[in-house]
A and B are shown apart, each in its own frame.
Chain A
Amino acid sequence: MAVFADRYPDEAKVVRAALASSFLALLIGGAMGPLQTLHRIDYLRIMPSETYYTVLTLHGVALVILFTIFFLVGFYQWAITDSLDRPSEDIRVTWLWYGLMTAGAAMASIAILGGFTDATDISASVLFTFYAPLEAHWLFYAGLTTFIVGTWVAGADWFRSWWNWKKENKGEKTPLRTFMVLTTMLMWYLATIGVAAAVLLFLLPWSLGIIDSVNPLLTRTLFWYFGHPVVYFWLLPVYMIWYVILPQIAGGRLFSDALARIVFVLFLVLSVPVGIHHQYLDPGIAEGFKFLSASNTMFLLLPSLLTAFTVVASIEHGARQRGGEGYFRWLTALPWRNPAFTGMALAGLMFAAAGFSGMVNAGMNLNYLVHNTMWVPGHFHLTVGTAVALTIMAVTYWFLPRITGNPIFSMRLGLVQVLTWFVGMVLMSNAMHRVGVGGEPRRTADPFYDFEFEGVIGSIGELHLQIGIGAIILTLSLVLFFIHLIFSWFGISATTKITSEAPIRKPLSGKEHAPAVLENFRLWVAIAAVLIVLVYTIPIASIIAEGGLFGPDVSPVRPDHAPLFSLSGLATEWVVAGLAGAVGAIAAIAGVLR
C-alpha cells in the first residue's frame, strides 16, 4: 500500500502540523523539568523561588494540555482518514480547528510567559489547575477556551466524516480506530462541560471584572469534573496505539476487536462521574459522595485491567508467530531492538506500576497519607509522563515515515532514547513516591522547613539525589529525542524516500464478533449522563445552596510578578559551561550511535 503521506497529502499536512505543535510544547515544557527539579532539591537555583511557580505553570500546561492534546488531534486525524479510507470532508474545516487550537495555545502561553517579566501586567502563575481565588490574566482563560473549542470542532469534523462514510457503507460496522476516536470524543464533550462552565460562567467574567466574586469550592469542583476525564483524553490515544499499532510491531494481531471496543465504551460511561476523588480532603462535600466517587473509581480500573490482558495477549501472539515458546521464554522472541516496540513495552510496564500508586490515591481515607505530597507527581510522571509521553515518543519511530515519507534516522539512537527515559523515570518517580510518603509536599519551590521530613527507606537527602540524577537522565533523553526527530522528520541525510507501508493486520477475533449494541452511541451517552447526574447533582446543588453561586465576596488574588532569572556571576558560568558541555556530549553520542 502506498504510504499515508502520498495517499492523503492534504490530511498528512494537518497531522504533521498538529504533531509539530505537540512536540514544540514538549520541548518547552520539558525544558522546564530539570530547571524546577534542580531548584526544588536545591542543587542549582538560577531563579528566585517566586518564579518557580511560573515555571511550574508552564511545565504543567505545556505538557498535559498542549503536548498531549495536540498529539491526540494529529494522531486521531490520521486514524480517521486511514481507517475510513476517505479524505477530510472539507480540509478548510480541518485547518480551522487546528488554527483555533493554535491560537488558543498561543494566547495561554503568552499569558503564562508574561509572568516572567515586569514589563506587562499579564501573568498566569496559577498552575494548570488555576484554582480561584488565584487569578490569571483573562488572556489565559480566553486562550484555554479557544483551544477547547478547537477540539470540539475537531470532534465534529470527525463525526461528519463518519456519518458520510456510513451513508456510503450501509450496514457495515465502524472500523475499530474510528470507533475509538468517536467514543473518546463523546467522553470529551461530556467532560469539557465542567471546565467550560467554570471558565465561561465564572472565571473569565471575573478576570474581566464583570463579576466580582466566585465560589472557590464550586469552580474547583467544576474543574475536577473535567480534571479526571481529561486524563483519559491523554490516555485513550495511547490505548489506541497499544491496541492497534503495538501488536503490529510485535508481529502479532490484536487479540479481540470486541473487547477493545467494550473498553472504550466503559471509558465513555465511567470516566466523568469520578472527579470528586480529587477532592477527598475538601471541606464542604459530604463523605457519602466521596465514597461513591471512590467506588466508581475502583470500577474504572476494570477497563484498564482488561486492556492489560488484551494488549499483552496480542503481543504474545506476535512473539509466538515469531517462534516464541514457553510460559515466559516467548518474551525473548519480541523485537526488543525496535525502539517503537521497546518504548511502548516499557511504557506499559510503568503504567502497571502506576496502576498501583493510582489505587492508593483512589483509596479515599488512604488519601490522607499522600494527598498533595510528592507521591502524586511521582504517580503521574508514570502515567502521563511515561505511559503517555514515552508511548508517544516511541510511536514516532513507527509513525513518522508514514506521515513524512522519510525514513527513520537511526533505530539504534531511538533505542537509547527510550531506554534512557525509562531509567531516568524509574529513578525520579520512585524517589518522588518515597519522599511523598515522608510528607514532602508537591508544588513547592523550597521544601525545607524548620523541621525535617523522614524518608521511607533512605534519607531525604539520598532521595533528592536520585530525583536529581533521574531528572538529568530524562533531560538527556529528551535532547536525544529532538535530535532524532529533526533528522528523521526532514529526512536529513536520508538517501531514499519511503513509498509504501504495510497495512494493519486484522484482529484475531474480528469486528464481526463485536455485538451491534456497542455502536449505539446514544445509549452509552445516555447512561453516562445519568451517572453524572446521579453523582454530581446533589454535591453541586448543595455547594451552590450553602455557599452561593458566586460565593461569599471572594476577590481575586494575582500571584506577584517576579523577574525571570537572577543569574549570579558564578551561576552564569556554570550554566553556560554545562550547556556547552551537554551539547557537545550529545552530538558525540548521536554520532557514535548512528
Chain B
Amino acid sequence: MATEQPAADQTDDIQREIGHDEYDPIGTLALVFIYFIIVSMLWIFVYFVEFLPRISPMVVF
C-alpha cells in the first residue's frame, strides 16, 4: 500500500550543510580525470590503430 510520501524528494537525510566556500569537488575532478584518460586512449586506439592502418583499400584521392 502506498504510504504517505512527500513529493519524491526528501531532505531529511542531509547531515550537514556545506556552503560554497567550504566545498571542493575533488571527487568530481578525479572522475572526470579518469574519463579524460579513457576517452583519449580510446580515440588514439580507434583513429591511429584501427582506422589509419586499414590502408588497403583506402580512399586516397
Which A residues fall within an 8 A CB radius of B? 3, 248-249, 251, 255, 308-309, 312-313, 316-317, 319-323, 326-328, 330-331, 335, 338, 340, 352, 355-356, 359-360, 363, 365-366, 368-369, 397-399, 401-402, 407-410, 437, 493-496, 498, 500-502, 508-509
Contacts and interface: CB of A to CB of B under 8 A. Distances in A.
14 contacts: A249-B8, A308-B35, A309-B28, A316-B28, A317-B18, A322-B15, A327-B27, A352-B35, A355-B39, A369-B50, A402-B8, A495-B1, A508-B19, A509-B20
Given A409-B2, A493-B1, A496-B2, A317 B23 contact: yes
Contacts of A248: 9
B13 to A, nearest CB: 6
A3 B7 contact: yes
A359 B7 contact: no
Contacts of A408: 2, 5, 8
Nearest to B4: A496
Contacts, number: 116
B9 A398 contact: yes
Given A312-B31, A321-B18, A495 B2 contact: yes
A368 B28 contact: no
B16 A407 contact: no
Contacts of B25: 255, 309, 312-313, 316-317
B27 A309 contact: no
Nearest to B21: A508
Contact of B43 (A359, A369, A409, A495): A359
A321 B16 contact: yes
Given A355-B39, A369-B51, A493-B1, A251 B7 contact: no
Nearest to A510: B20
A508 B20 contact: yes
Given A251-B11, A407-B4, A409-B2, A309 B16 contact: no
Contacts of B14: 251, 321-322
Interface string B13-55: 1111111100101111011100100110011001100110010
Contact of B6 (A255, A335, A359, A502): A502
A355 B31 CA distance: 15
Contacts of B54: 369
Given A251-B13, A317-B25, 12 more contacts: A312-B28, A313-B25, A317-B18, A321-B14, A321-B18, A322-B15, A327-B27, A356-B42, A365-B51, A366-B46, A502-B9, A502-B11
A320 B6 CA distance: 23
A402 B17 contact: no
A402 B15 contact: no
A494 B8 contact: no
B17 to A, nearest CB: 7
Contacts of B16: 321, 323
Nearest to A398: B8
Contacts of A401: 5, 7-8
A436 to B, nearest CB: 13
Interface residues of B, number: 38
A353 to B, nearest CB: 9
Contact of B32 (A249, A312, A328): A312
Given A312-B31, A317-B18, A502 B23 contact: no
A330 B15 contact: no
B28 A313 contact: yes
B32 A502 contact: no
A248 B42 CA distance: 34
A327 B27 CA distance: 5
B8 to A, nearest CB: 4
A323 B14 CA distance: 8
Contacts of A397: 8
A500 B46 CA distance: 52
B9 A316 contact: no
Contacts of B23: 317, 320, 508
A348 to B, nearest CB: 11
A494 B1 CA distance: 7
Nearest to A505: B11
A502 B7 contact: yes
B32 A331 contact: no
B32 A308 contact: yes
Given A248-B9, A328-B27, A369-B51, A321 B15 contact: yes
A199 B36 CA distance: 42
B6 A500 contact: yes
A485 B46 CA distance: 42
A328 B25 CA distance: 11
Nearest to B8: A398
A451 to B, nearest CB: 16
Contacts of B3: 407, 495-496
A51 B33 CA distance: 47
Contacts of B59: 368
Closest 5 interchain pairs by CB? Answer: A501-B7, A313-B25, A398-B8, A313-B28, A508-B20
Contact of B15 (A255, A323, A328, A335): A323
Contacts of A309: 25, 28, 32
A112 B42 CA distance: 40
Interface centre among B1, B7, B19, B39 (most CB of A within 10 A): B7
A313 B23 CA distance: 10
A19 to B, nearest CB: 15
B25 to A, nearest CB: 4
